[in-house]
Each structure stands twice: as structure tokens, then as C-alpha cells.
């Protein structure tokens, strides 16, 4: 039994593996465990606008690999995990958060509510709809103009257009993907995140609705030595580290 790695060990162990050893099978339950840990990633407003598609069917992998442009990481993968952004589910996720608030703060008259409860209910009751609601980009543009005006007088959150909220949802999903890859590394398993794919055709294979978007596809397996394409390269740390 492989001893789980520490966070630091997992970070250093993780590489983007391009060739996997098909003679060494993955424990599907351990991959699922890593997906469960992906769902614990920090995310914007706890909206959890994501879904995770765990592909274990060899037939489905064979269909998706050409849509990843025949990358070795896809062709030799034992399993795939498709990270999907579901910004279109914001209303459902908002209701889930409001139900969660009800379990923490049993409903009571506003006069009896604590300041924390009032802020929480106002956040999901008013602010989230303000941020996510849109109609063909028109409402988003009007919100943007209003924010520009208010922003003259005080600091304010400015990313309120449809394109802005789409970026927020994708950032959130990418955090989950990173959680997943580090969790896999801690188990001694390997991954390769792939952004290069025909996302429309992948959506069709998975039966995803129009509002869903592919964030990335992560291939999974156990590395072959030749699957590591050289030493890890990073620009000098001093080039990217800025202490203020």
C-alpha cells in the first residue's frame, strides 16, 4: 500500500504526464475520492458552479481521445475526468445556499435576526441575483455603467458583466481541478490537464446542455518514465515574486 504524500510532496511529485502505463490499472474508488476532494476546493460565493464527469468507460475514452487531437495523454489514459462549468445553475445553487442558511439560522422576523444572518440572507437573496442575472448581455452592460458611476465615489466590485461572471465560474472550476490533481498525486497517481479539445463535440458525447462549458479534461493513469517530457522548467522565482 502506497503511503499518502504530504501536500508539499504531492506538489513536487505532480507533473503533466503525457504517456501512461496501461499495464498498471487505477483504483476507480481512489480516483473518485480525489474527485470528492476536488469538490472541497474554495469557490466564489460557495456557489459551486461545477460538475465532474468521471470517464471510466474505455469506449468513451476512445471517442474523446480524437477530440483531444490525439494527444498521447488522452490516448494512453486509463480514465478521464472532465471538469465542467455550470454557470447556468446559479439559481439552483443560490437556493441550496439559502437552505443551508436556514439550517444555521432558523427563519425568524428580521427584527430578531443577527447582523450575520441579515448579511447572509441579503447576500444570496439580493447580491447573487444582481451579479448573475442577465439578458443577452443587456442587463450586464447596464450594471457595468452603474458600477462605473458608483465606483467614482467608493471602492466597489466591478466584475458584473456576463463575460466577467463566466471568468469567475471558470476560475472556480480550475481550483477544483487543481485540488483533484494534487489529491491524485498524493495517492501516487498521475494526471495531465488538457485544455486542447473540441469542447462542442465533447459536450455532445457527454450529453451536456447548452449552458455547460468544458473547463478542462484531465487524463489519469500511472506514469511511464518517457511520459515525463524533460525536467520541470520554471522562470526564476524572483521574476514572479513581488513582496509589497
Each domain of the chain, given as residue ranges in start order, spans 7-88+164-229, 90-160
- Structure letter (DSSP) for residue 84: E
Q: What is the pLDDT of residue 201?
A: 98
How far apart CA 48 and CA 86 sit, in angstroms, is 9
The answer on pLDDT for 2 being more than 70 is no
How far apart CA 5 and CA 173 sit, in angstroms, is 24
Average pLDDT over residues 148-175: 93
Indicate the range of 2-6, 93-97, 120-124, 143-147 predicted with least confidence: 2-6
Of 92, 103, 104, 174, nearest to 132 by C-alpha is 92
Q: What is the pLDDT of residue 141?
A: 87
Cβ neighbour number for residue 132 with a 10 Å cutoff: 22
How far apart CA 181 and CA 161 sit, in angstroms, is 31
Cβ neighbour number for residue 148 with a 10 Å cutoff: 11
How far apart CA 236 and CA 150 sit, in angstroms, is 41
Q: What is the pLDDT of residue 31?
A: 98
**Any idea which residue has 505532480 for its cell?**
14
How far apart CA 128 and CA 180 sit, in angstroms, is 27
Q: Supply the DSSP string of 1-63, one letter for each residue.
A: -PPPPPHHHHHHH--B-S-B-TTS---HHHHHHHHHHHTTS--GGG---EEEEEE--HHHHHH
What spatial distance separates the first Cα and last Cα of the chain, rounded to whole Å?
Answer: 45
CATH number of this structure's domain 7-88+164-229: 3.40.109.10
The set of residues, in sequence order, having a beta carbon less than 8 Å from that of 129 and lying 6+ positions away, is: 94
How far apart CA 232 and CA 239 sit, in angstroms, is 17
**Any idea which residue has 468513451 for its cell?**
60
Give per-residue pLDDT as tens, 192-243: 999 999 999 999 999 999 999 999 999 999 999 999 999 999 999 999 999 9
| Residue 73 near residue 16, CB atoms below 8 Å | yes
Give per-residue pLDDT as tens, 85-106: 999 999 999 999 999 999 999 8
- Structure letter (DSSP) for residue 214: E
Return the sign of the alpha-carbon dihedral for residues 226, 229, 230, 233: negative
**Any idea which residue has 473540441 for its cell?**
198
Q: What is the pLDDT of residue 1?
A: 57
Q: Give this prediction's pTM.
A: 0.94
Counting residues of the chain whose pLDDT is more than 90, the rounded percentage is 86
Amino acid at each position: 500500500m502506497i503511503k499518502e504524500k504530504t501536500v508539499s510532496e504531492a506538489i513536487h511529485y505532480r507533473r503533466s504526464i503525457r504517456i501512461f502505463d496501461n499495464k498498471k490499472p487505477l483504483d476507480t474508488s481512489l480516483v473518485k475520492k480525489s474527485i470528492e476532494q476536488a469538490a472541497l476546493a474554495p469557490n466564489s460565493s460557495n456557489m459551486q458552479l461545477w460538475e465532474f464527469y468521471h470517464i471510466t468507460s474505455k469506449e468513451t475514452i476512445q471517442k474523446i481521445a480524437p477530440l483531444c487531437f490525439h494527444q498521447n495523454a488522452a490516448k494512453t489514459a486509463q480514465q478521464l475526468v472532465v471538469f465542467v462549468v455550470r454557470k447556468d445553475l446559479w439559481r439552483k445553487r443560490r437556493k441550496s445556499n439559502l437552505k443551508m442558511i436556514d439550517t444555521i439560522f432558523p427563519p425568524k422576523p428580521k427584527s430578531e435576526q443577527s447582523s450575520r444572518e441579515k448579511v447572509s440572507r441579503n447576500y444570496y437573496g439580493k447580491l447573487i441575483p444582481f451579479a448573475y442575472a442577465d439578458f443577452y448581455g443587456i442587463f450586464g452592460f447596464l450594471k457595468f455603467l452603474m458600477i462605473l458611476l458608483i465606483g467614482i465615489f467608493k471602492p466597489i466590485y466591478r466584475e458584473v458583466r456576463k463575460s466577467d461572471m463566466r471568468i469567475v465560474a471558470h476560475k472556480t472550476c480550475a481550483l477544483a481541478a487543481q485540488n483533484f490533481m494534487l489529491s491524485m498525486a498524493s495517492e501516487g497517481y498521475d494526471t495531465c490537464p488538457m485544455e486542447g479539445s473540441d469542447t462542442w463535440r465533447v459536450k455532445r458525447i457527454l450529453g451536456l446542455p447548452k449552458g455547460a462549458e468544458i473547463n478542462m479534461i484531465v487524463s489519469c493513469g500511472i506514469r511511464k518514465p518517457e511520459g515525463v517530457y524533460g525536467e520541470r522548467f520554471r522562470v526564476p522565482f524572483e521574476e514572479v515574486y513581488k513582496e509589497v
